[in-house]
Structure formats: C-alpha cells, structure tokens
Structure 1
Amino acid sequence: MNLWHRPLTANELRQCLRIAFGCTLGFLLCKLFGWNYGVFYTVTPVLLLGMVPVMNGHAARQLLASAGLCGIEVGLLGGLFGSHPALMIPIAFLLFLYRFAAMSRGSLFLFGANGVLSLSIMLHFASYPQTDLNDLIVNNLWASILSVLIAYLMTALIPDVEARPTPPAIAKAPNRMRHEMLLGATIATLSFMVFQLFDLRDSMSAQATTLLVLFPMHWDGALRYARKRAMGTLLGVSVGLICQLVLYDWSSVLLLVTPLLWLGAMLFSHAHVKEASGSGVGFGALTTLGILFGQYLTPGNDLVFSALYRVSSILVATLATLLICYLVHSLLNRFAPTRFGY
C-alpha cells in the first residue's frame, strides 16, 4: 500500500510526462501524415521511454539496430521462404534465439526485446500475400527512428532534476542464460506457428502478450507478469471504451482524440513508474491503449468490438503461454546445462 500512496518524485513525474507526450506525439504524427501501421508509431515511443528512464545513445543504437536487422531479416525471409513454412520455422527459432541471448545478457535487453516483438509481428504479417512488404519494413524502421527523435526531444524538454542511480549489473550463471535463451526462443517460435496456423491476423495484442510474458526471462517472473498483464489489459481496454463512449461517432476528429489518449497515457504512466518493475500493470495498460488507438481507431471504425476482442484473446493467449512456459521450463530443468538457477 505504501507504494501507491507515496507521492511521485520529481524525476518520476517527469518520466510520466515524457511517456504521455511521447506516445501522443507519435500517434498524432502518424494520423496527420496518414502512415500505415499506427501501432508502431504509438507503442514504440512507450517501449523506449517506459523501459529507458533517461534517453541515451546506447538505447538509441539498440532500437535502431533492432529495427534495421528486423527489416533485413523479414525482407529476405518473406521474399525467399514466405511460402515455405517448414523452412521458416527453424530459421525463426534461430532469429529469436540470438535476441533472447541479448536479453539474457542484460546490457542489450532493449535490442532483444524490441527485436522479438517486431520480428514476430512482421514475420506474421509478411506471410500474407496482400501485405506490402516494403511498406511494412519502412514503417517499422521509420517508427523506430521517429521514436528515438521523440525520446530525445522529450528528454530535452522535460529533463530529470537529479541524477539517477546506475542500476546494478546482474551476474548470471551460463546454465541460467541457456535456460532463458531456449525458453524464450521456443515459446516465441511456437507462438509464431500458432498464429500462422490459425490465420490470426487480427490478434496483434494477443500475439504481443505471448512475447511480453517472456520478458522476465523465467517461469516465476512470467507467472507474476501474466497476472499484471491481464490486469493492465482490462484497465487499458476500459479506458479505451470510456474514450469511445465520450467520442461517440467523432473518433476521427484528432482534436478530440488526442487529449483523451494523453490523459490515458498519463494515468497509466503514473502506475508504471510507481511499480518500478519494468513490465507491470501500468506498462501492460500503456501498450494496450497504444495498440487500440494506434491500430484500430480509424475513420469508419471504433474501439468497441476491437476492445472486447482484445480482452478475450489476451486472456486465452496468457493462459496458453503460461501452460507452455511451465512445460518448457520443467523440461529444461531436467538437464544440468540448462537448469535455471539464481
């Protein structure tokens, strides 16, 4: 209870403002210029500003390198093996494996995390013949570049008032790192296979959830995060529905939509910085709200069906991922070289 009743520090308040304004600015630019894949422009600034308290060159290089590699890999794989799923699956596993290896090492966590999300979603969309592959790759790369620029702008306009302590480095045994790499890559590949097999092109939130649950990198963390993700999804969807009710049929009027997105992002940013746990209730709600506004709030479309569908699909995806995570975790623990240990 002390966590939620304590006041925000000056630095935390400024981080909330950076996240809310960054998310809103990405959304606004996307809608003003009519760019496709609005989810990239709305969620990527949240990912960057939410996971990196103070923007720096190391974070910028990780995000840009991740987007560039994803573009090259999806372009090559989509063109060469898009119609050969039997070849795509082992290649996808290897691509996920080295990204989870980067996440496990810690210093390149943002590179791996953004790469896992982008690669899974882009590979899935690239498999459909009607998808313009060049448009998909360019929008993802441009959204990453724009997110870095937005993050630097927010940091310059709303800087911290005092220096933040350097987070301690976490030393991991080789067997734990192998466990985390194989656990993450196996489940990410299974997730990709399921979404391909059942043709689930409208379940981006559920697909992202199957990957976000893996970010703690171990079973206990995944179990804790799953509960928080479910709560965050319900909160994000609830705020999205309230915004839709307020807007009614004016959902295409940016002058009305933008302040509502900012209010929702500010509310969930407050929860995110209070938790100080990386991926918690607040972060789950932020990404859900960003997906709803960025991808599904368009002229002639509203959030009601999308929001209700998001809830059901995310809950099913969470339960299925936890079950597979426990089975893979138990299997890996049977062997000494891949046994998880602190």
Structure 2
Amino acid sequence: MLLRNQPLTANDLRQCLRVATGATLGFVICKLMNWNYGVFYVVTPMLLLGLVPTMNAHAARQLLAAGAVCGIEVGIIGGLFGGHPGLMTPLVFLLFLYRFACMSKGSLFLFGANGVINLSIMLHFASYPATDLNDLISSNLLACALSVFIAYLMKALFPDVEARVSHQAEPKQPHRTRHEALLGASMATISFMVFQLCDLKDSLSAQATTLLLLFPMHWNGALGYARKRAMGTILGVIYGLLVQLLLYDWSGLLLLVAPLLWLGTMLFAQAHVKEAAGSGVGFGAMTTLGILFGQYLAPGNDLFFSALYRISSIMGAIVGTLCICYLIHRLLNSFEATRFGQ
C-alpha cells in the first residue's frame, strides 16, 4: 500500500495547505520579480514545508546555513576551478561527504539534504563559462531566505490544530554512519561527474533524482524509493501536460498558471502526507511539478517537450543510479568499518 487508508487529520490538511500555498507564493513572487533560477523559489519551499511538519527555529537555521555555506563553497570552488571538472571532483566529494554525514546523524538532516541538492545544481551550473556566479549564488540565498519567510507565514495562516508528537531518531552505530556518508558522497560525486562529462545542462530533474534517491541513506531504501520516484515523476509530468493543453497559448498568464500550480501541489501534497514516508510518490510528483513550473514554464517555452524529456532522462537516471548504488553498497559492506548491517 502506497497510501494510508485513514483520512487526513486536521493537522495533515493544514500541512497540505502550507505546502501548496507556500510553493505557489514562491512561484508568483519569482515570476513577478522576473528572477532567474525559478526552480529555487518553488522547490525550496516544497522541501522545507514538506519535510518539516511545522516550521521551527532549528529548521530555519539549517536552511539559511545551508544556503550561506553553499554560496561560499560555490563562489570559491566554482570561481577557481569552474572550467576544470577534474580538479573539482575530489573537492566536491569532500563537500558531499560532510553533508551526508549530517544527514545520517539526523539532527542536521535538513541542512545536509538542502545542501546536497543545491550544491550539486549550483556547481554544475557554475562550471559553464556563461553562468553569472553572483546571480546564481544570490538567487539561491534569496530563495532560502524567502522560503523561511514563507514557511513562517504559512504557519501563521494555517497553524496546526493539535500538538504534534515529537519523534526522536535512534542513534546509529558508527559503521552505519560511515556507510551512509560514503555511499551518499560517492553517488553524488559520480552524478556530478556524469552530468559534467555529458554536458547535461538541461537535465535538472534527472540530476535532482540521482540525489533524492539517496535520501533514504541506504541501498534498500534507495531501491524502494526508485519505484515511488518513477511513479511520482510520471504523475507530475502528466499534470504538467494537462496544464499545457488546457492553457495552450496562455501559459504566460500568471493569473491562470498560479491556481493550477496550487491545485496540483495540493493534490500531490495530500499523497505525500498520507504516505508518511518522507520521500515518496507524492513528494516526487511535487518536486517534478515544481521543476517544470519553476524552471521551464515561461512565455515561448514548450512545456510539452520539457515534460517528455523529463520522463526519459529521469528513468535513465534511476536505472543508472541504482546500478552504481548497488555496487558501492556491496563494496562498503565488504569492510567491517563501513558495514551497513549488524
């Protein structure tokens, strides 16, 4: 069963409203201000409001710190080694390694998760000579700050009805933490190298998929999430195509686009909350929709072509990621110091 049978609770419904309204607000502000890198302004609120049931200061600090640290790292590494992927690779591995270590320990999961996605995307863009590094870094920082503001605003507009039960993560054995950190860092680095060597600048969804598959932090989790991510991608793309067909030549009218984005995000947010599995079908569909609307839906752009390209690239990314992930998992399990089980 992908979804729970019980209906949404009052708190669940409020969280869905926060996710849908927050993502749509980020999209509207980005388009009205004509800011670049719209994906940051749509997906970041989704990530924050979807993974954090109710906004708090600890989550805000993690998101802002992730944006600031990414900006510094991309500014230094991208500026010095932007045109030399070979020199960037070992540095990129170290940057991913400490982020996945933060995710494995649990208390700084949001810092690591947001940092992994943003760092990969920003370093990839920074490697192209035509990219304005200042614009890229400032867009990400602004998106993080705006997402925190939106999250607190959504919390005020749609507060929880009942107090939530806090869940404390169980401590992990050191060898499992090392396994998860090395597996994630290795996969993220390989993903970065592949997208660099193949010049896949327009495969943002596929690049994000190779990273989101790692969020369960182990092979069995990645295998289970792959199926959910594929289903979520297909659902998100289908909805995007329906919007394109419905609007046709009016896809540049914000007054028509925004309500449809809100409706789609609301539907997928309900699936995400019912799954109660962090990254599942609903979360995959939401992020796909956020990338399609935030990065590719603009006057003169053909969302139909972008949507079909997203499906093919993501399916390829899922298969490739799983194959390499399994090999690295087996290799790490060969050593006692990095064994996942026991």
TM-score per shorter chain, which class? over 0.9
Between 276-285 and 168-177, report the one with greater CA deviation.
168-177
Q: CA deviation at 1:79?
A: 1.0
- The residue that corresponds to 1:55 in the other structure is 55
- The residue that corresponds to 1:176 in the other structure is 176
Per-residue CA deviation, residues 69-110 of structure 1 (Å, 9 max, x unaligned), is: 000000001111112222200000000000000000000000
Please give the residue correspondences for 1:266-277 in structure 2 after superposition, counting only pairs within 5 Å: 266-277=266-277
TM superposition score normalised by structure 1: 0.99
Q: CA deviation at 1:2?
A: 9.8
Take 2:9 and 2:33, find their aligned partners in 1: how far apart are those partners? Answer: 36
Contact conserved, 1:251 with 1:302, CA < 8 A, in 2?
no
Where do 4+ consecutive residues of structure 1 move more than 4 Å?
1-4
Q: Do structure 1's residue 199 and structure 2's residue 187 form an aligned pair?
A: no
- The residue that corresponds to 1:40 in the other structure is 40
Take 2:96 and 2:170, find their aligned partners in 1: how far apart are those partners? Answer: 22
Take 1:168 and 1:56, find their aligned partners in 2: how far apart are those partners? Answer: 16
Take 1:257 and 1:189, find their aligned partners in 2: how far apart are those partners? Answer: 36
- The residue that corresponds to 2:252 in the other structure is 252
Please give the residue correspondences for 1:100-119 in structure 2 after superposition, counting only pairs within 5 Å: 100-119=100-119
Q: Which amino acid aligns with 2:61?
A: R
Q: CA deviation at 1:168?
A: 2.5
Per-residue CA deviation, residues 117-175 of structure 1 (Å, 9 max, x unaligned), is: 00000000000000011000000000000000000000011000010000122210000
Q: Which amino acid aligns with 2:330?
A: S
Q: CA deviation at 1:4?
A: 4.2
Take 1:246 and 1:39, find their aligned partners in 2: how far apart are those partners? Answer: 22
Take 1:162 and 1:131, find their aligned partners in 2: how far apart are those partners? Answer: 47
Percent of residue pairs bearing the same amino acid type: 74
Q: Do structure 1's residue 126 and structure 2's residue 123 form an aligned pair?
A: no
Contact conserved, 1:24 with 1:261, CA < 8 A, in 2?
yes
Per-residue CA deviation, residues 190-241 of structure 1 (Å, 9 max, x unaligned), is: 0000000000000000000000000000000000000000000000000000
Q: CA deviation at 1:5?
A: 3.6
Take 2:179 and 2:129, find their aligned partners in 1: how far apart are those partners? Answer: 36
TM superposition score normalised by structure 2: 0.99
Q: Which amino acid aligns with 1:90?
A: P
- SS of corresponding position for 2:249: coil
Take 1:247 and 1:167, find their aligned partners in 2: how far apart are those partners? Answer: 44
Please give the residue correspondences for 1:186-265 in structure 2 after superposition, counting only pairs within 5 Å: 186-265=186-265
Contact conserved, 1:272 with 1:283, CA < 8 A, in 2?
yes
Gaps of 5+ in 1: none
Per-residue CA deviation, residues 234-273 of structure 1 (Å, 9 max, x unaligned), is: 0000000001111011000001001100000000000000
Q: How many residues align?
A: 342
- The residue that corresponds to 1:283 in the other structure is 283
Contact conserved, 2:83 with 2:128, CA < 8 A, in 1?
no
Take 2:130 and 2:37, find their aligned partners in 1: how far apart are those partners? Answer: 14
Between 163-172 and 327-336, report the one with greater CA deviation.
163-172
Take 1:203 and 1:3, find their aligned partners in 2: how far apart are those partners? Answer: 29
Take 2:85 and 2:213, find their aligned partners in 1: how far apart are those partners? Answer: 25
